[in-house]
Amino acid sequence: MAKGNLREFIVQWNSKYPYDKSWRLKYGVPLFSQKHKDMCLLDILAEYEEGVLFQELYDDNKARKDLEENNVVIPLRDRDYIKGYGNWLKSSEDGMSQEEQDSLFDNIKI
């Protein structure tokens, strides 16, 4: 196999199976070594997806904890939506009196 063809094959392999590259880096396994050949791509993909899933859960949980620890009332217009967490439903301090809020509510056109 020519050097250019080998490089093209390696690039195509890593483009087609990016999770395989991260698995090999994680465990220090050379490309197409015997240990690499003994692995199943489905097992490698499952391990990769598990890592992604738990990283997302960790990030969401950390964002929730940060919000709870700070316990700061953020105006509704300045809140970022965090998936699965009703932070945008909490009361806000927007400087409106109860009368102003009632007036807005009464003037809603249906």
pLDDT tens-digit readout, 75-109: 666 666 667 766 555 555 556 777 887 888 788 87
pTM for the full predicted model? 0.52
Structural contact between residues 44 and 19, judged by C-beta atoms closer than 8 angstroms:
yes
- Domain with 105, as residue range(s), is 72-110
Same domain, 46 and 79: no
pLDDT recorded at residue 13 = 92
The domain tally of the chain equals: 2
pLDDT tens-digit readout, 24-34: 999 999 999 99
Structure tokens at 91: 């009361």
Structural contact between residues 91 and 101, judged by C-beta atoms closer than 8 angstroms:
no
Same domain, 58 and 106: no
